[in-house]
């Protein structure tokens, strides 16, 4: 489970994207919407890049963020707040960098 940094969440606000690992259901990232709006790259593609930085990979293979019902996201579109699932292709388990929360 990720550590919660109260000052960061207080600064950015509570409206956020929450990512759960598909293999365990554990939350491994919470990305404030206000942070994304100020990033200059407010797309699902950018959110995916952030999520992929939190996963140890052996090869140049990246995970996929999906709706909780498995529906695909348009990575070129603007993200919305809510809960989403991160799946790492071909792996039922993957290693997350511990206790990381934006």
Are 3 and 101 spatial neighbours (Cβ–Cβ below 8 Å)?
Answer: yes
Per-residue pLDDT, 28: 83
Residue 10 sits in which domain range?
6-96
Per-residue pLDDT, 86: 92
Does 1 map to a domain? no
Q: What is the pLDDT of residues 21-35, one digit of tens each?
A: 888 888 888 888 998
State the Cα–Cα distance between residues 32 and 8, nearest whole angstrom.
9
Does 80 map to a domain? yes
Does 70 map to a domain? yes
* Residue numbers in the chain where pLDDT is lower than 70: 1-10, 57-59, 91-102
Does 68 map to a domain? yes
Does 64 map to a domain? yes
Does 31 map to a domain? yes
Per-residue pLDDT, 64: 93
Tokens, residue 21: 């690992």
Count: domains in the chain: 1
Report in angstroms the alpha-carbon separations of 82 from 17, 19, 33: 5, 9, 10
Q: Assign residue 50 the CATH number of its domain.
A: 3.10.20
Does 46 map to a domain? yes
């Amino acid at each position: 489970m990720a550590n919660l940094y109260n000052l960061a969440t207080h600064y950015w606000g509570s409206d956020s994207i929450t990512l759960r690992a598909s293999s365990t259901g554990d939350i491994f990232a919470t990305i404030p919407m206000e942070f994304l709006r100020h990033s200059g790259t407010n797309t699902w593609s950018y959110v995916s890049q952030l999520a992929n930085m939190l996963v140890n990979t052996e090869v140049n293979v990246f995970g996929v963020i999906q709706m909780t019902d498995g529906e695909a996201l348009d990575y070129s579109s603007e993200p919305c707040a809510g809960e989403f699932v991160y799946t790492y292709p071909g792996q039922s388990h993957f290693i997350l960098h511990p206790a990381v929360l934006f």
